[in-house]
Amino acid sequence: MSGRRLDAGGRIDRSRPIRFTFDGRGYDGFEGDTLASALLANGVDVVCRSPILGRPRGVVSAGVEEPSAFVEVAEPWFEPVVAAPMVNLIDGLVASGRPGVGRLPAQTHRTKPSVTRNRHVETLVIGSGGKGLEVARTAAARGERVLLVEREPYLAGSGLGRGPEGVEVLVDATALGVYDDGYVVVLHRGPEHDTVWHIRAARVVLATGAFERPIAFADNDRPGVMLNAAVGRYIRDFGVLPGARIVAFGANVTVLETHDLRRAGAEIVATADVREGWAVAGTEGETRVEAVHLVGPGGERRTVEADLVAVAGGWNPALQLYRAIGGGLRYDDDLATFVPDGSGPPWLEVVGAAAGDLPPSVAYWYTPAEDLSRHFVDLQRDQTVADVLAAVDGGLRSVEHVKRATYIGTAIDQGRTSGTMTAEIVNVALGWELGAQGPTNARPPFVPVSFAALAGLDRGPELLDPVRRSPMHAAHVERGAVFEDVGQWKRPRYFPHGDEDMQAAVARECLAVRDGAGVLDASTLGKIEVVGPDAPAFLDRMYTNRMSNLAVGSIRYGLMLGLDGMVFDDGVAMRLAEDRYLVTTTTGGAAAVLDRFEEWLQTEWPELRVYCTSVTEQWAVIAVGGPKARAVLADVGTDLDLLNDAFPFMTFRDGVVAGVAARVCRVSFTGELSYEIHVPSWDGPHVWEAVFAAGEMFGVEPYGTEAMHVLRAEKGFVIVGQDTDGTATPDDLGMGWIVNPSKGDFLGKRSLVRPDSVRSGRKQLVGIVPHDPDLLLPEGTQLIRSSTIGAPPVPMLGHVTSSYRSAALGWTFALAMVEGGRELRGRTIHAALAGGTAPVDVTDPVFYDAEGARRDG
């Protein structure tokens, strides 16, 4: 315990004490402390144990390069592992030592709120040293928007604590990554919340400074071995003396200002200047440095009592951000390290210490010794000089390979203190020149950042992903709908009465449609207006069947294929005029279909005169279906003639429904007589209620997606994406009738004649009827030939894609994709279930009203 707080000095505010807890014990610090400075002030030497060897580890640095002192923060916000110098002390902080590997607690934990902000500036300066401030000042004077970010709590090059006139300054703000075209992501740590800034800058200036480098010697990981500049910072900025009897070691030891030390009551008990042939050979001590072994130019040895070794190994420019965006390095002999070689994107500049504006140094990376197995190179990975040399002895030459063999540079600090040292040890061991190869590359993020911080506001059930609601959503809530997620949409799944379960509610809803009338909110279907003289020809190329000969006022079902010939989406096309169609898509496929239309029009067929406009949300769609649908619609009030002859199946009419302009379509996804009422979305709630008001005497029921799925499956209608998985051709689905190869080319046509598309034994859509009329097969159930499951691999015939109880039929049934399925109709195969198999019959997929007698009422 030799660290202590000084009576005066530093940027801390001694009038504002802060109480915090570390490893279960309470301590006091001050406003302006970091956790590292507060622990040093309280004489806490050991912050954590090393991850592999379990050796005691203390604070080595005062910044983001920290390779040794890692903690988990539990309160007020959870952070799994963070360097102690990067934790600003706040009231109520609870932390504990955590060797460089974090862990997530089993229970949910509080994460710090965060928000994302976007900013555009002409000049972004990263780092607030003198050079960074100068660049910012000059740019601001030109009238530019200038943002300066500094990862420390205060500006490095300004005693004033504020930036130049006209410069916006963010402190506690670390650039996580620099990306193409001046896009920079910055994590700004605030007391209450974090801000992730997404900055687009015309010019990015890296004034990122330099990291002091360590020197390896025996037991150089013992608490009390600290970087020389860090010792100075703890005294000057935090009023903390990390040790009183100091050994100064390195090539540049004068950096430690002796007057600072004298005022603080400390002394330098020995200086080991490598230029004079002196070096620190090792340390002794229980949990921290108590004695230091020195070795002289003639091999002479000396031991001094000391509690702190200040190591000044020279400086490495901080070029992690620069290299990750493509900047190159060159070796500088005077600095004995790597500096920018002037390459990199044109909008990026490197200035100041980062550009190599540094005092000269010498290449001295470790104190020679017989035993190098306690000369630590990467403290977080517990890797030593001996480990590096063993990798070289094993035949590795590239530092990239050595990195992967030793894991040096793969920990949280990404080798900020160990990377160049490792490269030079390898270069020397191989007999290569110094600087023959440089350090391995660091990648964004520059410091660890939590997913919660990156997510910003985009978390929680409402904001993680948009929740899209239909115009009639409030009405569905009022009717007690249970919702399901369909893509981003909330759709009513069923509408339970009282304490009905789903099975009972769905059975009731299905029977309402089969025997009376049901109403479905189909507003989520994608809708696109396709307009222009070439619209008919264009749609002929997009769908497998012909749309150009569709009569105005009529509707046709269509399939779209991928270029691989597999079913991609389906819907109907309505011909509004000679040069105008409205096509519908599946709920989930709306954006993809419009994208595909635009892609083909813009990239392949720009000569086609066609414009597409999304009108998905222009229209609310209310589908009234069932034998009583006509009577319901008549009672709702319409000027349309609803009789079959005047308004036949697969046509639409424009008219008035419930007092508003509407387009009514005779299409049916249930097999029953159906009218789809399309009205402007703001009229949807009114018309929806009007249907129920009129339908009351007919017993009209709202029905949800689950009943809709049952009803369509009873008719053998597929749902793209449920019964198909991107590997089904139209013929596989028994829909070869919809492919018209004589009409000219269309998307996917060529793939339909590939040998694999026409081979026998492809999976085909069939119906499945379990022998047990009450057995509901789980969707995804594998179907096999025999009633016993043999030794693996068990040959699979196919799988169940949809499975329901049919209230109309009185038994369960399923749709399935089965190899050569159509030839198996009438045969019994077996469903593989947990605990055994169950016999099922293969049937035609149409279970209900095969002759189609019900669609006209």
Partner 1 sequence: MAEPTAPLAHRATDLVRLHAAEVPFLSQIDVRCGTDAAARLGFPLEPNTVAGDMVRGVLWLGPDEWLVVGLPGTGPGVLAQLQAALTGSHASVVDTSANRAVIHLTGSLRLDLLATGCPIDLDPRGGWGPGRCAQTLFGRAPVLVQELVNATRIFVRPSFAEYVVDRLLAAAKVRS
Does 693 engage in binding with partner 1 (CB under 8 A)?
no
Q: Which of 137, 609, 743, 785 binds partner 1 (CB under 8 A)?
A: 609
Q: Which of 269, 454, 615, 650 binds partner 1 (CB under 8 A)?
A: 615
Q: How far is the CB of 577 from partner 1 (least distance, A)?
A: 11
3-state secondary structure string, 13-36? EEEEEEEEEECCEEEEEEECCEHH
Q: How far is the CB of 112 from partner 1 (least distance, A)?
A: 11
Residue 107 burial (10 A CB sphere; 0-12, 13-18, 19+)? exposed
Does 682 engage in binding with partner 1 (CB under 8 A)?
yes
CB 668 within 8 A of CB 611: no
Pick from 184, 129, 178, 125: which is nearest to 158 by CA?
129
Distance CA 427, CA 609 (A): 66
For helices 419-429 and 399-406, what crossing angle results, to 10°?
110
Residue range at the interface with partner 1 (CB under 8 A); choices 302-310, 408-416, 613-621, 775-783: 613-621
Eight-class DSSP state of 163? -
Does 562 engage in binding with partner 1 (CB under 8 A)?
no
Does 236 engage in binding with partner 1 (CB under 8 A)?
no
- Tokens representing 487 are 């893509």
Strands 267-273 and 245-250: parallel
Distance CA 294, CA 311 (A): 13
Does 187 engage in binding with partner 1 (CB under 8 A)?
no
Of the pair 440, 524, the CB lying nearest partner 1 is at: 524
Q: How many CA atoms lie within 13 A of 337 on its CB side?
A: 34
Q: Which of 457, 552, 563, 758 binds partner 1 (CB under 8 A)?
A: 457
Q: Which of 316, 545, 668, 681 binds partner 1 (CB under 8 A)?
A: 681
Distance CA 711, CA 513 (A): 9
Q: How far is the CB of 326 from partner 1 (least distance, A)?
A: 23
Of the pair 535, 815, the CB lying nearest partner 1 is at: 535
Tell which positions 527-546 bind partner 1, by CB under 8 A. 529, 531-533
Eight-class DSSP state of 171? S
What secondary structure does DSSP assign to 207-238, as a single string? ---EEE---B-BTTTSTTEEEHHHHHHHHHHH
Strands 518-521 and 701-702: parallel
Of the pair 405, 455, the CB lying nearest partner 1 is at: 455
Helix, strand, or coil here: 653?
strand
Q: Which of 43, 113, 157, 655 binds partner 1 (CB under 8 A)?
A: 113
Q: How far is the CB of 660 from partner 1 (least distance, A)?
A: 5
Does 603 engage in binding with partner 1 (CB under 8 A)?
no
Q: Which residues pair with 767 in a beta bridge?
A: 815, 843
CB 812 within 8 A of CB 776: yes
Pick from 448, 440, 302: which is nearest to 377 by CA?
440
Q: How far is the CB of 75 from partner 1 (least distance, A)?
A: 20
3-state secondary structure string, 75-113? ECCCEEEEEHHHCECCCCCEEEECCCCCCCCCCCCCCCC
What secondary structure does DSSP assign to 291-351, as a single string? EEEEE-TTS-EEEEE-SEEEEE--EEE--HHHHHTT--EEEETTTTEEEE-S-S-TTEEE-
Helix, strand, or coil here: 707?
helix
Q: How far is the CB of 543 from partner 1 (least distance, A)?
A: 20
Of the pair 535, 735, the CB lying nearest partner 1 is at: 535
Please list, in sequence order, all residues whose beta carbon lies within 8 angstroms of the beta carbon of residue 804, skipping any fewer than 6 positions away. Answer: 709, 710, 713, 714, 776, 812, 813, 814
Element (H, E) at 516: none
Does 614 engage in binding with partner 1 (CB under 8 A)?
yes
Q: How far is the CB of 568 from partner 1 (least distance, A)?
A: 22
Of the pair 120, 497, the CB lying nearest partner 1 is at: 120
- Interface map 142-171 toward partner 1 (x if CB under 8 A): ---x--------------------------
Does 450 engage in binding with partner 1 (CB under 8 A)?
no
Residue range at the interface with partner 1 (CB under 8 A); choices 250-258, 328-336, 617-625, 724-732: 617-625
Q: How far is the CB of 167 from partner 1 (least distance, A)?
A: 13
Percentages helix, strand, coil for the chain (3-state, rounded to 5) are: 25, 30, 45
Strands 348-350 and 194-206: parallel
Does 469 engage in binding with partner 1 (CB under 8 A)?
yes
Does 638 engage in binding with partner 1 (CB under 8 A)?
no
Q: How far is the CB of 530 from partner 1 (least distance, A)?
A: 9
Does 119 engage in binding with partner 1 (CB under 8 A)?
yes
Of the pair 24, 606, the CB lying nearest partner 1 is at: 606
For helices 502-515 and 705-714, what crossing angle results, to 10°?
60
- Interface map 120-139 toward partner 1 (x if CB under 8 A): x-------------------
Q: Which of 1, 53, 430, 474 binds partner 1 (CB under 8 A)?
A: 474
Of the pair 685, 820, the CB lying nearest partner 1 is at: 685
Q: How far is the CB of 117 from partner 1 (least distance, A)?
A: 6
Does 584 engage in binding with partner 1 (CB under 8 A)?
no
Does 182 engage in binding with partner 1 (CB under 8 A)?
no
Of the pair 192, 645, the CB lying nearest partner 1 is at: 192
Q: How far is the CB of 552 from partner 1 (least distance, A)?
A: 17
Does 737 engage in binding with partner 1 (CB under 8 A)?
no
Helix, strand, or coil here: 566?
coil
Residue range at the interface with partner 1 (CB under 8 A); choices 21-29, 107-115, 253-261, 836-844: 107-115
Tell which positions 196-235 bind partner 1, by CB under 8 A. 198, 200
How many residues of this chain interact with partner 1, rule: CB under 8 A? 49
- Residues in the chain, how many? 857
Residue range at the interface with partner 1 (CB under 8 A); choices 30-38, 115-123, 429-437, 722-730: 115-123
- Residues at the site binding partner 1, with contacts judged by CB under 8 A: 113-120, 145, 193, 198, 200, 456-458, 462-463, 465-471, 474, 489, 529, 531-533, 609, 611, 613-619, 658-660, 680-686
